[in-house]
Amino acid sequence: MKKGLIILAFLLISNTGYCQKFKEWFRQKKTQKQYLIEQIAQLKIYLELTKKGYKIAKEGLTTIGDIRRGEFKLHKNRFDSLSIVKPAISKHPVASAAVYQIVYTIRLYYQLGDLLAANDWLSSQEKRYIKSVFDQLAWDGVDVLDNLDEVTKDRKLKMTDDARVQRIEMLYRQSQQIYLFARQIFEQATTLSTQRRSEQDNIDNSRALHGIN
């Protein structure tokens, strides 16, 4: 599912010429997160081993006897089954819809960069503020993709089917909020720029009409 999500995102973004930028940006983000995940995983493994060692030492032959009778295996099978994602969930249409929302957000992110670079009608302070807001929205979008990967891919999370569907729906709502806010900011920046340019054109035309330099 993760591979499919990324390929879909790249195909959609490449139509606007931003594929290479997004790939590099996404790779940096994933590298940072992967490092943190590895550190957390190492600590988690250490704590689990310590906990299991203490439990066996405390319960002694009782724990060993339970394992021999197969109870441990039954629990393990039940626990492992929660990490297998059914096709109906991994291909959930709401997950695809969430990806589209984030892709559209990333498109706006790069369109905004082009708009600000060639814009003389917004102040430097306004540009910095708009850019900072979009930076955060873009990172939030990547986090949504990461979470979708975890909930729709085998052996990432141990959850029931209902819990996975609920998580997917929650991520969709997040992606929708991110996109709608990004679009609102983009439209406001575009409108403000257009208004100021129009006002300046009116001033220039008025001066020309009255022979004022």
Q: Is residue 132 part of a domain?
A: yes
Structural domain tally of the chain? Answer: 1
Q: How far is CA 212 from the centre of its chain?
A: 54
Q: Is residue 168 part of a domain?
A: yes
Buried b (16+ CB within 10 A) or exposed e, 80-98: eeeeebeeebbebebbbeb
Q: Is residue 78 part of a domain?
A: no
Is the pTM above the cut of 0.95? no
Q: Is residue 17 part of a domain?
A: yes
Domain of 119, in residue numbers = 2-34+86-197
Q: Is residue 203 part of a domain?
A: no
Q: Residue-wise pLDDT tens for the chain (213 aa)?
A: 544 554 445 444 444 444 555 555 556 555 655 554 454 444 444 445 445 444 444 444 444 445 445 444 544 444 444 556 567 676 778 888 888 888 888 888 888 888 888 888 888 888 888 888 888 888 888 888 888 888 877 666 677 778 888 988 999 999 999 999 999 999 988 888 888 888 877 777 777 777 776
Q: Is residue 69 part of a domain?
A: no
Q: Is residue 143 part of a domain?
A: yes
Q: Is residue 164 part of a domain?
A: yes
